[in-house]
């Protein structure tokens, strides 16, 4: 590709979020991505919410904790992060010398956006005797204001690693925070944020679905609202939900989280039926619009041309790294 055309395409990344370059429709993207992995010593990390093609080409598929752990230990020169911005940013925080690329720079997160650092700083100042535990779904700016990070799979352990009388602010997800308050008996102060995908499930429609499928078990992510969690048979991170569906004896499941996870559930248990929990409207709102901005084409392009790339201010990176390191250390001690 001519240098000027590539330069123009790279300039467009800022506006569009991805390299908008026409590809030969006949091109075998799977083979091209495998070739690039070897040529560039690249590793492709994908979250369970990515589209099936991306999951199939990934070297590692996981939940937020698993992805952070993989990012920490990888020997690759290039980390291709098929997920949303805060996840790729976490990989960069842990690996400043590696090139971290993301298929679409605009793959954000409504939950992360619900907690802007300047507002959170003021909130924190109103609770001077509290420590801050932040869910990994937040910006580097919020991480830098936190004492420790958690994910949905280690939140309970992280909270319980502090004495019972320790005052805690939990940000940014009020649903996960309320759930952890319930299971740990704590009274953490919650930032009022939420995920647009997990708040969309309709209790009424799930209840009706349960009547039609009396044997089906409800699997729910803790980002769901309390009424949905109350009737769930199992609550856990995406990895937790997947593992449960593999080891449990039921044959039918209603799945209250983003639909991407169904790909691995169906692959692991082809004899079982997985029904996406219905949203409270008629659209496919339990597809995360941010996660689904990434496509196989964009994945190929970001690997081939090394753009969009995650770059970070060093002072911010170091401040955000501390609470992530603390999370990884506590998780290791807990055997997670």
What residues line the site for ligand 13P (CB under 6 A)? 63-64, 137, 151-153, 195, 223, 237-238
Q: In angstroms, what is the minimal distance from the CB of 32 to ligand 13P?
A: 28
DSSP assignment of 132-181: EEEESSS-HHHHHT-SEEE-TTTHHHHHHTS-TT--EEEESBHHHHHHHH
Tokens 């991170």, residue?
237
Q: In angstroms, what is the minimal distance from the CB of 202 to ligand SF4?
A: 17
- Measured from the CB atom, is 196 or 275 closer to ligand SF4? 196
Q: In angstroms, what is the minimal distance from the CB of 109 to ligand 13P?
A: 6
Q: In angstroms, what is the minimal distance from the CB of 46 to ligand SF4?
A: 13
CB atoms within 10 A of CB 59: 14
CB 294 within 8 A of CB 55: no
- Measured from the CB atom, is 51 or 223 closer to ligand 13P? 223
Question: Which of the listed partners (ligand 13P, ligand SF4, none) does 161 bind, with a CB threshold of 5 to 8 Å by partner kind?
Answer: none
Per-residue x/- track, 91-120, ligand SF4 (CB under 6 A)? ------------------xxx---------
Q: Which of 195, 200, 262, 330 binds ligand SF4 (CB under 6 A)?
A: 195
291 part of the interface to ligand SF4, by CB under 6 A: yes
Spatial separation of the C-alpha atoms in residues 214 and 163, rounded to whole Å: 42
Tokens linked to 66: 């698993």
**Total number of residues binding ligand SF4 (CB under 6 A)?**
12
Q: Are strands 99-101 and 131-135 parallel, antiparallel or unpaired?
A: unpaired
Q: Return the C-alpha torsion angle 92, 95, 98, 103, nearest 10.
A: -30
Tokens 């936190």, residue?
146
Q: Which of 263, 290, 317, 321 binds ligand SF4 (CB under 6 A)?
A: 290
Question: Which of the listed partners (ligand SF4, ligand 13P, none) does 290 bind, with a CB threshold of 5 to 8 Å by partner kind?
Answer: ligand SF4
């Amino acid at each position: 590709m001519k240098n000027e055309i590539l330069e123009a395409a790279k300039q467009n990344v800022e506006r569009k979020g991805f390299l908008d370059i026409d590809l030969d429709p006949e091109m075998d993207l799977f083979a091209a991505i495998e070739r690039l992995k070897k040529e560039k010593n690249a590793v492709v990390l994908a979250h369970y919410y990515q589209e099936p093609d991306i999951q199939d080409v990934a070297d590692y598929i996981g939940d937020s904790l698993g992805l952070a752990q993989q990012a920490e230990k990888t020997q690759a020169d290039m980390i291709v992060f098929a997920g949303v911005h805060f996840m790729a940013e976490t990989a960069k925080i842990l690996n400043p010398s590696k090139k971290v690329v993301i298929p679409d720079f605009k793959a954000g997160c409504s939950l992360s956006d619900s907690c802007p650092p300047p507002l959170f700083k003021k909130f924190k100042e109103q609770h001077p005797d509290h420590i801050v535990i932040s869910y990994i779904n937040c910006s580097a700016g919020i991480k830098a204001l936190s004492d420790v990070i958690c994910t949905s799979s280690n939140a309970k352990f992280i909270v319980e690693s502090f004495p019972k009388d320790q005052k805690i602010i939990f940000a940014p997800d009020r649903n996960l925070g309320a759930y952890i308050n319930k299971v740990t008996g704590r009274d953490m102060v919650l930032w009022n944020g939420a995920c647009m995908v997990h708040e969309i499930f309709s209790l009424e429609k799930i209840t009706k679905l349960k009547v039609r499928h009396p044997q089906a078990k409800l699997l729910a992510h803790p980002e769901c609202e309390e009424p949905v969690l109350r009737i769930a048979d199992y609550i856990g991170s995406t990895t937790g939900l997947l593992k449960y569906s593999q080891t449990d004896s039921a044959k039918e499941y209603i799945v209250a989280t983003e639909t991407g996870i169904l790909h691995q559930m169906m692959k692991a248990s082809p004899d079982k039926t997985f029904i996406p929990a219905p949203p409270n409207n008629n659209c496919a709102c339990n597809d995360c619009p941010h996660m689904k901005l990434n496509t196989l084409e964009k994945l190929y392009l970001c690997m081939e041309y090394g753009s969009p790339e995650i770059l970070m201010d060093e002072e911010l990176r170091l401040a955000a790294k501390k609470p992530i390191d603390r999370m990884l250390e506590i998780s290791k001690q807990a055997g997670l």
